[in-house]
Structure 1
Amino acid sequence: MAPATTSIWLRRYASPAPPRVRLLCLPHAGGSATFFHSWGRALGEDVEVLTARYPGRQERIAETPLTSIEELADAFAAELRPYLDVPLALFGHSMGASVGYEVALRLEAHHRTALALLMVSCRKPPHLLTPRTWRLSGTPEGRARTGRLYGADAELVEEVRRLGGTDAALLEDEGMRELLLPAIRADFEAVDRYTARRGAPLGCPVVGYLGADDPDITGAEAAAWSAVAPKGFDLKVLPGGHFYLTDQRDALLEDIHARLEQVR
């Protein structure tokens, strides 16, 4: 059954039964809503899945990608208002975890609604973030001339390859590379601009997920999300690297399903 599209920002996989809980999935830098396509019907008949549709890719390829985590969070917090009639959980992978955290803050501040659960995957908490200066390669003159804040296309492709995932294979095709790199570049800029800040506590429990061999985050760093989770924190480590959730899909969904079962 094809997903029902309800907004330019959200792809909705309507649950067969009236939803008891909704789950919004927020993809990584360069990622798209289809990364979570197989999750749409995998979490039970009363769990409705929403996937985030970032501008600058797929159906929104003609739009200019956003270069700010805060702008993305503003947009999603506004779009989620019609979906707050049942408990809402968020799962964010990598960049998506930071977007999810900021969405949670906005829902609490502006809509007086706390998430049922925030799940953050392979991302440091806000107070531990550091700039990724590797992308500031080349000369200042060259960056001013091209209008590009970051390095050459080859450097972006190499970083995506280093982290792995399905995006790396797509970038081997020159035509796909031309389509995908503007969104990847914009997302990397958003990630780099979102540097360490004092972490505001959340009004919901937080679960951290981590690939045991992720090259960019340690177990201790993932566990530091507990500092913004006075309602409770848990950490789940699975085999694999930064994109552990591809190979460990079934184990991850089983764990998420069990946690959502506790949401009432």
Structure 2
Amino acid sequence: MAAAIRLFCFPHAGGGTAAYWPWAGTLGSEIEVVPVPLPGREARIAEPAHRRMDSLAEQITRELAPSFDRPYAFFGHSMGAALAWEIGRRSAPLGVIASARRAPQLPTRRRLMSELPDEQFIAELGRLEGTPAEVLENPELVELLLPTLRADFALSEGFVAPTGQKLHCPVVVMAGEDDSEVDHEELSAWRAATTRSFRHRLFPGGHFYLSGGAPEVRREVRASVLEFAEHANLTHG
């Protein structure tokens, strides 16, 4: 029997579908985990990565549209959370789970990584711990991936939502307690990014807390998606 709900998962800057492979089959029979491949990486490495959020969101919305044939929700981590929000404006998800990301209406308050020289840029990637060390220690691989990494950070850092735009579905925000890339105010500001319900929860860890608290995180993701579905049934049933 097909799962009742699809959960489309969007990666962080420089990330890919592999981040969500461990989730497959772990969120319950009701939820189908669908990691979303983006241009410029993995099987799509020959495609240029986008440097603007609106163009990426428009392309991915078109590509995913045939899969919106059953109820669906979005999960996005860091850059992926902003992408989930933008695609959510263009579609009708049951809800959005935004992880480790400032609210979409807020500009970044941090140094722009995308403008750093290569050596400093690579060092910052290592500090964030979102790119495997074996990748950063391989000069040929870094040279191959650097255009996509820079494009992702330019897209992520430059994105600020259009004034007055909101989602019309519930939003759940998740983050690590020790995340140095996003603070409490930036997380709480997601409340203004939707016309529906909002809540947020913190987990042990930093910006990439997802890799450290897997069982607890997955339980929260599952509970949130089922909550979205229940809310939709109460509203529309």
TM-score normalised by the chain length of structure 2:
0.90
Residue identity in the other structure for 2:95: L
Taking the aligned partners of 1:123 and 1:88, their CA distance within structure 2 comes to 21
Task: Tell me what 1:176 maps to.
Answer: 141
Per the alignment, residue 50 of structure 2 pairs with: 66
CA distance in 2, matches of 1:82, 1:135: 35
Partner of residue 169, structure 2:
204
- Which residue matches 1:3? none
- Is contact 1:211–1:238 with CA below 8 Å preserved after alignment? yes
Q: Which residue type is aligned with residue 260 of structure 1?
A: V
Deviation at 1:135, TM superposition (A): 3.8
Shift of 1:184: 0.5
Q: Residue 92 in 1 paired to residue 76 in 2?
A: yes
The farther-off stretch of 215-224 and 96-105 is: 215-224
Letter paired with 1:27: P
Task: Give runs of aligned pairs for residues 73-222 of structure 1, distance below 5 A.
Answer: 73-107=57-91, 114-130=92-108, 132-135=110-113, 150-195=115-160, 197-222=162-187
Partners of 1:197 and 1:168 lie apart in 2 by 36
SS at match of 1:48: strand
Structure 2 residue aligned with 1:232? 197
* Aligned-pair CA distance for 1:72: 1.3
RMSD: 1.7
| Aligned-partner residue type, residue 165 of structure 2 | A
Q: Aligned residue for 2:28?
A: 44
Alpha-carbon separation, structure 1, partners of 2:111 and 2:161: 14
Which SS does the other structure have where 2:102 is aligned? coil
Structure 1 range deviating more: 19-28 or 167-176? 167-176
Match of 1:111 in 2: none
Pair 169,209 (structure 1): closer, same or farther in 2 beyond 3 Å: farther
| More displaced stretch, 20-29 vs 40-49 | 40-49
| Residue identity matched to 1:61 | I
- Give, in whole Å, the separation in 2 of the partners of 1:224 and 1:104: 17
Runs ≥4 residues deviating over 3 A: 131-136, 166-169
The answer to whether 1:246 aligns with 2:230 is: no
Instruction: Tell me if 1:21 matches 2:5.
Output: yes
Matched position secondary structure for 1:70: helix
Q: CA deviation at 1:168?
A: 4.2
Give the equivalent residue in structure 2 for 1:12: none
Take 2:172 and 2:123, find their aligned partners in 1: how far apart are those partners?
30
- Output the CA distance in 1 between the equivalents of 2:54 and 2:216: 31
Gaps of 5+ in 2: 231-237
Structure 1: stretches of 5+ with no match in the other structure = 1-16, 108-113, 137-149
Q: Deviations over 1:205-248 (max 9, x none)?
A: 00001111111211221011011222100101001000000111
Q: How many corresponding residue pairs?
A: 229
1: CA distance, partners of 2:133 / 2:89: 32
Map of 1:110 onto structure 2: none
Flag the 1:226–1:169 CA change in 2: closer, same or farther, 3 A: farther
> The residue matched to 1:80 in structure 2 has which SS?
helix
TM-score normalised per structure 1: 0.81
